[in-house]
Amino acid sequence: MVYLGVVPTALAFSTWAYALARTDAGKLGVTTYLVPPLVIALGWLLLDEVPPALAVVGGAVCLAGVALSRRRGRVSPPLAQEAGTRA
């Protein structure tokens, strides 16, 4: 008997390869961030699996950390070098 996880995995990898052949890897890589929220939402909707409150808090902390690390600070203009000095 075929393990039930093989068919969905093969389908997922085939879909990924199809999409990768048609777009940039960097753009497609961003879509992997959508997997956890989709899985949680589908589990809640289809299987009535309610995520624990601590898991929701942990997810929020992770998202806050990503947002903080990706934040762009102000860029100050480069200082003019003095005449006659070399960097």
1-48: per-residue pLDDT in tens? 556 678 878 888 898 899 989 988 888 888 887 888 888 888 889 999
Confidence of residue 58 (pLDDT cuts 50, 70, 90): very high
* Domain boundary assignment for the chain: 6-63
- Is residue 28 within 8 A of residue 20, CB to CB? The reply is yes
Segment 44-50 long-range contacts (CB within 8 Å, at least 24 positions apart): none
Higher-pLDDT residue of 81, 71: 71
Report the C-alpha gap between 28 and 21 in whole angstroms.
10
Q: Which two tokens stand for residue 56?
A: 């929701």
- Is residue 87 within 8 A of residue 81, CB to CB? The reply is yes
Note if the pTM is more than 0.75.
no
- Is residue 59 within 8 A of residue 36, CB to CB? The reply is yes
Higher-pLDDT residue of 61, 66: 61
